[in-house]
Amino acid sequence: MRAFTRHQGVVAPMDRSNVDTDMIIPKQFLKSIKRTGFGPNLFDELRYLDEGKPDQDCSQRPINPDFVLNQPRYKEASVLLARRNFGCGSSREHAPWALDDYGFRVIIAPSFADIFFNNCFKNGLLPIVLEEETVDRLFADVEAQEGYSLDVDLDSQEVVTPSGERFSFDVDPFRKHCLLNGLDDIGVTLEDSDTIREYESARRQRSPWLFDSFANS
């Protein structure tokens, strides 16, 4: 998993509440578990005017010119500004995979669905909860200024605007440690690899027949 320390990026505004995971990545694209290749189908039903199909060449599909990610000013966006209850619906981990594969590193909203919120941290995305009034102000600033970007510092837990205004956000210390060090669940386990090897060695000496049976199976 990619580590997250600090990120500065253009902001794209997703101005709707209760964006569910089926809207983020529709069900027909859930067959793969590779974690990559989902970016072209992020928000598929909103981005395109036709029905998306797996393994389709999206570069030839008719796009919806009114959708925010199809507007030239947001083409390079890597910070997504959203409304309340973002990521609700089913628990599909493909949702953060699609956001990450598209190029987003940060999602800012007044609230998130719990499972989606947890899945973001496990996949290198930083979901940030800010007060609704603050999010409203950011939406207005993004609309008013083309190329509007935010500087997000995980270590100091701050979002910094182009004018220098700072907004603090909370993050669980364990999740922060994992993001700063690029540790997913497997990576966290491997931090104790020496202890695991010592246990396996001691267990092999105490019960050698168990390991012999595994080798011969």
Shared domain check, 29 and 132: yes
Tens of pLDDT, residue by residue over 81-129, are 999 999 999 889 999 999 999 999 999 999 999 999 999 999 999 999 9
Strands 6-14 and 79-82: parallel
Q: What angle do CA 168, 177, 96 make, to 5 degrees?
A: 80
**Domain membership flag for residue 152:** yes
> How far apart are the C-alpha atoms of 179 and 158, rounded to whole Å?
15
191 and 176, same domain (yes or no): no
Report the range of poorest mean pLDDT among 21-25, 77-81, 100-104, 194-198: 194-198
Same domain, 109 and 41: yes
pLDDT at 94: 95
**Residue 205 pLDDT greater than 80, yes or no:** no
Task: Look at residues 15, 16, 13, 43 and name the one whose alpha carbon lies nearest to residue 148.
Answer: 13
- 175 shares its domain with 188: no
Residue 72 or residue 217, greater confidence: 72
CATH number of domain containing 131: 3.20.19.10
122 in the same domain as 138: yes
- On whether the pTM is more than 0.85, the answer is yes
Please give the residue range of the domain that contains residue 193.
184-217
Same domain membership, residue 193 and residue 178: no
Residue 1 lies in a domain: no
My answer on whether 78 and 162 are in the same domain is yes
pLDDT at residue 42 tops 90: yes
